[in-house]
Each structure stands twice: as C-alpha cells, then as structure tokens.
Amino acid sequence: MRRRTSPRRTATSKPQSIGPIQTFEVDGLTHEAKGVARFQGKVTFIEGALPGETVEAQVNKAGRNFDEAVLVNIIEPSVYRVEPSCQQFNVCGGCSFQHLADEQQLNAKADWLQGQLRNLITTQELEQLSDKPMGYRRRARIAIELKKGRMALGFRGKASKEIISIDQCVVLAPNLQSIFLSLKLALLENDLAGVLGHVELLEDTKGVSVLFRLTSSISDELKNAWEDWAEKEQVALYWQAPKAGKAEVAPEKMRYYDLVDLRLKYHPQDFIQVNATMNQKMVAQAMSWLSPSKQDVVLDLFCGVGNFSLPLAQHAQSVIGVEVQETMVEAARENARVNGLDNLSFVAADLTKPVNNELFKQTITKVLLDPPRAGAFEFLDSIIKIGPTQILYVSCNASTLARDAEYLVAKGYRVLRVSLMDMFPQTSHVETMMLLQKKK
Ligand SMILES: C[S@@+](CC[C@H](N)C(=O)[O-])C[C@H]1O[C@@H](n2cnc3c(N)ncnc32)[C@H](O)[C@@H]1O
Ligand code: SF4
C-alpha cells in the first residue's frame, strides 16, 4: 500500500503558460490520466490532477472546444492521491497513474473501458483480473542519447520526445532493475553508448538478457569487454548488427519461458506478453472461458509462438495457429513438438490480406484472436464465414475491440463475458478479454 499525500506544491516543471493561475474543481479523469475540469463552461484537461480535487492551474494550450492546463498547486487533494513510487514520475512518459491509489486506477480503467464498450455491455458485469502493481515488466526497451558528452539512458518524456535519464524503474521486474543499474555504470566507462540505437532488457525462465542494437560496427576488443561484463553479471548478451532486422541467435541461445507445464522457446526479439504473472492468469482465464474440449477444432489467430495455441491443444481435438512472422511460426511448431503435442498445425499468413488456404476447409468450432493494436477488422468476414460457435477476443486496444465486436454482434454474435485485465499497472494501457457466442 502506498502512502497517501497531503496538500503540497507539485514537482511539475515550470510551465510555458499563456494564461493566469486559476482555480479549478476537477470532476473527471481521462484514460491518459488528465484531470477534467470546467472553467466558465469550457472543458479543461489538467495533467496530474485527480477527480475530487481543487487545484490551481494555468492554461497553456487554448483550443476551440477545450483547453489544456498545467498543474501549479493542489489546494484540496483527492483522498485517493498517493506519493508516486518513482522519482521520475512527473517527467517520464512510461507511467501515467502513479499518483493514484492502485485500486482507484483499476476503477478508472474500468469506467473508461465501460465507456468504450457502451454499445456492447449494458447489462453484463465487467470482470477484473489483476496482479502485483509494481515490478511486473519482464521486458523493456531503453532509449539512449549522448548530448554534449552526457549520457541519458531511460525512456521518452511525458511532454516531449526527450530521453529522461533514470536510475531506477519500479515497474521493471527486480532483476531487470538491478541489471539496469550495472549496465548504466558500465556504459559510462567505455565507448559503446555512442554506437547504440537502443538496449532491450528481458527476463524469462532462462534468466536475464540484454540486447544491444548497434548503429555501427564495433571492435572485437570492445565486444569482448562487454562479453566479460555479461559473464560477470550472469546475463545473456545479444547483438543486433547495424541495419539487421533481427539479431542472429544460435539455437542454444534462443530464449524460453514456462507457462504452467509448458516451455515456450522464442527469439529475444519475438513478441511475448510483458507481464509474466498476468500472462499466466490471462491464459488460464482464456482456457476457462473458451473451455476447449475434444470435440473442438480451435483457430488461434495472431498466435505468436503459441502462447494460447499450446494450452488450447492440451484440451482441444486440434488447434490451427496463424501468425505473420515465419520465424515465429517455426518457433511455434518447434514448441508443439518439444512439448509432445501433435494436434497443432501452424500457418504463416498476413491476416490483413485475404487468406487463401486450408483454413476454410475444416469445421472450426471456436476462434481465439489476439491481434496487435490495429485490431482484426480485415479478417472478421472470414471468421463469420467460418462460423465458430464461440469467439474469444483478447485486445490491447479497446477502441478497435469495440469496433470489431460491434461488427461481430451485427453479424449474429452476442457478448457473453468481458474482463479488464490489468496487464500494465501505472500506465494508461488496458488489456481486455471478450467472449462472444453465436446466436442460435
Ligand atoms: C498481441 S501479439 C499476440 C501473440 C500471442 N497471441 C501471445 O499471446 O504471445 C500479436 C501477434 O500478431 C502478429 N501479427 C501482427 N500483425 C499480423 C498480421 N497482419 N497477420 C498475422 N499476424 C500478425 C504479431 O507478430 C504478434 O505475434
Ligand atoms: S516507466 Fe519507470 S522510470 Fe518511468 S515513470 Fe514508470 S517507473 Fe518511473
């Protein structure tokens, strides 16, 4: 439980203001964590202000329909305001909600999600799935910049593209937090920083790894110095050569993570869900909601390396996974083989384009889809043609989920269950699971 705060001056940096300091009563919150107030009838968004607060702010962007203001002082704080755990919270763009108590963050996300899905869930209760609020990220891309001889290693800022230099990131898994510190010190001591595009930190069942994205070649001597550092820190090191699409990785250096009794191999730059414990819970919930049985042939769209396909195959008659990246399809096939599952097949296909293959020849009873932010609109007519009895939609973008689900509902499906999954606490991102059933 984090400490509640009392009235105080905020640590917000000095605003580039155009208006005088005014007093606002805040009565709403956007999903990007901006307080919503009205001044003489006009909506004003105030970054850092919370509902129920009386604040002083200065309008720094005046628009026709709304203004934006910079928080100057909190006169009456919300009872849900807490001290941010991260010292960089006011400037780093990585988190939006650290000033709001964890349970209230979830309520705010639920309200927002309910609004996005207002045409779909009037009576259904929005279910919730959550886990630890801090130390959950098993993957992070760290930006790097050298300016006038000074190194900034961190994330993009809240209000600018500037890289905010950080020493500690409390949403990272603890092992990644400690390797981050060691990495920062080591980068200050030699010449690698000048030829880095970015650094990727990753933790999985195999351990911790660091991937360097190079912008130009480096000497063997420098490379060896870093290999020594990696050995001392007991991390695996990967090098992505300049202009290379992906790092070259020997089979024995592939990564893996465990999912209950399954082991899934992947390339260090392949997609994996960033929150390991929430992923376990999400997959378990998907199995419980979709409830695959030996009568079911399940289609797993946007399947990655088989995160849902393999657990589905443990219960279903068979599973067909579809994924655009050939290398991930190969990894998924290998994962099925190594885990002793012979009722899976995988197809490499771009689901935004017409898919002309065996998919439509089989009787598919259930479909699971987990698309990127853009959603799956182009493939919806194909799903309708396949005609599964149930569709389980996992989404990281509620607005494309709403669009796609409204289309499915118009074409003969109804929403059975919806769950907000707090995959990314402290940030404004929301993961959602929706189960749809074909109307009789
Ligand atoms: C949100 S991830 C989900 C992956 C997997 N279901 C999991 O849980 O790890 C979306 C996946 O869709 C794949 N993808 C992106 N665009 C695609 C497309 N046009 N057609 C097929 N797959 C695509 C990505 O490579 C990625 O593996
Ligand atoms: S992403 Fe990390 S450094 Fe940035 S605000 Fe969140 S916890 Fe702090």
pLDDT band of 357, cuts 50, 70, 90: low
State whether ipTM is beyond 0.90.
yes
Domain 21-99 identical in fold to domain 139-243: yes
Residue 426 above 50 pLDDT? yes
Q: Which fold has domain 139-243?
A: OB fold (Dihydrolipoamide Acetyltransferase, E2P) (2.40.50)
User: Ligand 1 — pocket residues by CB below 6 A?
Assistant: 271-273, 302-304, 307-308, 323-325, 328, 350-352, 370-372
pLDDT band of 13, cuts 50, 70, 90: very low
What are the structural domain ranges in the chain?
21-99, 117-132+273-438, 139-243
Q: Please give the distance, rounded to the nearest whole angstrom, from the Cα atom of residue 278 to the centre of ligand 2.
A: 19
Q: What is the per-residue pLDDT for 123?
A: 65
Give the CATH H-level superfamily of domain 21-99: Nucleic acid-binding proteins (2.40.50.140)
* Six-digit token string for 386: 């396949």
Q: What is the per-residue pLDDT for 75?
A: 98
Count other C-beta atoms under 10 Å from residue 360's C-beta: 11
For the chain, helix, strand, coil in percent to 5 are 25, 35, 40
Q: Measuring CA to CA, how many Å separate 365 from each of 67, 317, 389?
A: 50, 10, 6
Cα(49)–Cα(31) distance, integer angstroms: 13
Cα(395)–Cα(169) distance, integer angstroms: 26
- Among the bound ligands, the one closest to the CA of 310: 1
| Residue tagged active-site, from 82, 320, 396, 420 | 396
Q: What is the per-residue pLDDT for 2?
A: 59
Tens-digit pLDDT profile for residues 85-127 = 999 999 999 999 999 999 999 999 999 999 999 999 976 689 9
Cα(426)–Cα(201) distance, integer angstroms: 19
Tens-digit pLDDT profile for residues 365-404 = 999 999 999 999 999 999 999 999 999 999 999 999 999 9
pLDDT band of 160, cuts 50, 70, 90: confident
Q: Which atom of ligand 1 is nearest to the CA of 350?
A: 20
pLDDT band of 78, cuts 50, 70, 90: very high
pLDDT band of 320, cuts 50, 70, 90: very high
Residue 6 above 60 pLDDT? no
Ligand 1 mutation target, pool 266, 322, 323, most atoms within 8 A of CB: 323
Q: For residue 303, indicate whether it is catalytic.
A: no
Q: What is the mean pLDDT of residues 253-258?
A: 98
Q: Which fold has domain 117-132+273-438?
A: Rossmann fold (3.40.50)
Q: Which contiguous run of DSSP H or E holds residue 199?
A: strand 196-204
Question: Could you identify the residue written with the tokens 């279903």?
Answer: 316
Q: What is the per-residue pLDDT for 14?
A: 46
